[in-house]
Amino acid sequence: QVQLVESGGGAVQPGRSLTLSCVASAFNFNLYGMHWVRQSPNKGLEWVAVISYDGRNRFYADSVQGRFTISRDNSRNTLYLQMNSLTTEDTALYYCASDLYSKSSWGVFEYWGQGTPVSVSS
C-alpha cells in the first residue's frame, strides 16, 4: 500500500532553518504532484507548497513565499521542504501529500504521511 514517511522535524529557534523529507513507497511517485500541508491549532489545515510531477513547476502559499523551497528527487522517491528564516508562526505538524490526479496538481490530497512536527521558539 502507498506509504509516505516524513522526517526532519524538530525544535528550532526563530530565524533558523530546517529541511523536511518525505519518502514515498508503493507509489508511482514520478507521476504525481506533491504537496506540503501543515496543521496547527491556531490556523488549522494550511496548504504550504506544491511541486509538479516533473519538478518544473512550484507554487507556494503567500505565508512562506521566499522562505521555503520545495524540491523532489524522483530517482529517490523523495520530496523535500527547505525552510529558512523560520518564525513562531511556522510551528505546526507538517504533512506531505500526493495529488489525486497524475501529471497535474489540482490540490486534491489523496495520500498523506503521518506528519513531522516543527516547533519554532526561542
Partner 1 sequence: TVLAQFPGTLSVSPGESATLSCRASHTVTNNYLAWYQQKPGQAPRLLFYGASSRAVGIPDRFSASGSGTDFTLTISRLEPEDFAVYFCQKYSALPPWTFGQGTKVEIK
Site residues for partner 1 per CB under 8 A: 44-47, 50, 59, 61-62, 95, 97, 100, 104, 106-110, 112-115
How far apart are CB 88 and partner 1 at their closest, in Å?
Answer: 21
Of residues 73 and 110, the one with the C-beta less far from partner 1: 110
How far apart are CB 105 and partner 1 at their closest, in Å?
Answer: 8
Cα angle 2, 49, 94; round to 5? 60
How far apart are CB 76 and partner 1 at their closest, in Å?
Answer: 22
Strand positions, DSSP E, 8-122: 10-12, 18-25, 32-40, 44-51, 58-60, 68-73, 78-83, 92-102, 109-112, 116-120
Of residues 44 and 75, the one with the C-beta less far from partner 1: 44
Of residues 15 and 60, the one with the C-beta less far from partner 1: 60
Q: What distance in Å separates the CA atoms of residue 1 and residue 15, rounded to the nearest whole number?
A: 38
DSSP secondary structure code for residue 107 in this structure:
S
Of residues 49 and 122, the one with the C-beta less far from partner 1: 49
